[in-house]
Amino acid sequence: MNRKVIRFDAAHKADFFKLHSDTHDHNWCFCVAWWVATWEGWGNRTAEENRLLREALCERGEYDGYLLYVDEKIVGWCQVGPRDRLEKLTQQFELARDSKTWAITCFLITPGYRGQGLATHLLNEVLKDLRARGVTRVEAVPKRGVSDVGALWNGPESMFLGTGFQIEKDDPKRPVLVLEW
C-alpha cells in the first residue's frame, strides 16, 4: 500500500471535493464547522451553504489541512491550522489567545479505508510537517467516550495520546490535548 500525505492547496482542491462527496457519504459539512460563528443553527445549514463557505475559504487562500492518498486514491483528510483563526473553537473551550498554537480539528477517512491505521499515519505525517515548518505547539479537542466512528470527526482521543499529546484541560466529554516540541 503506497501512502502519501500532502498539504491541501489549490492544485488539490478537486480531490478535497471528491473526498467530501456523496460517494463517501460526506457531502454536507465540507469541513467548515469550526469556521461558522456559532453552533446555533449549524444543523439547519445546507450542504450548498457549507460548500460555498469552503469555496470562499479557498478563494482567500485558506487551505487548512492535509490530504491522504492510498495508491494515488484520495481517502483521507485532516484539518489543521493556526488555532486562533477559529473564534468558535477558542470560545467554546475557553482558550487564551496564542498566535503560536496550531489546532488539529477534524479527520475524515473514507469508510472502506477505516481500521487500517491510516488516521494515525496521517496524524504522524501532519505532525512531522508542522514541526519542520517551525510549529512548536499543537492542540486537539477529541470527543471522549464515543464509539460511533461517524461521531469521531475530531479524531479519537487514544490516537492523540498514542502520538505524544498530553491532557492540558481535562473534561469528561471534550478534553483539550496538547503536544509541544
Tens-digit pLDDT profile for residues 16-68 = 999 999 876 788 999 999 999 999 999 999 999 999 999 999 999 999 999 99
- Cα–Cα distance for residue pair 113/26, rounded to 1 Å: 14
Tell me the CB-side half-sphere exposure of residue 64, using CA atoms within 13 A: 28
Percent of the chain clearing pLDDT 70 (strictly above): 99
In the CATH scheme, what is the code of domain 3-180?
A: 3.40.630.30
Confidence class for position 104, pLDDT limits 50, 70, 90: very high
Instruction: State pLDDT tens for residues 149-171.
Output: 777 899 999 999 999 999 999 99
Cell 478537486, residue located:
14
Mean pLDDT of 72-96: 97
Q: Please give the full DSSP string across 97-134, using - where no structure is assigned.
A: P-TTEEEEEEEEE-GGGTTSSHHHHHHHHHHHHHHHTT
Residue 148 has a pLDDT of 81
77 burial level (CB within 10 Å; 0-12, 13-18, 19+) = buried
Mean pLDDT of 80-95: 97
pTM of model > 0.75: yes
pLDDT at 11 over 80: yes
User: What are the boundaries of each domain within the chain?
Assistant: 3-180
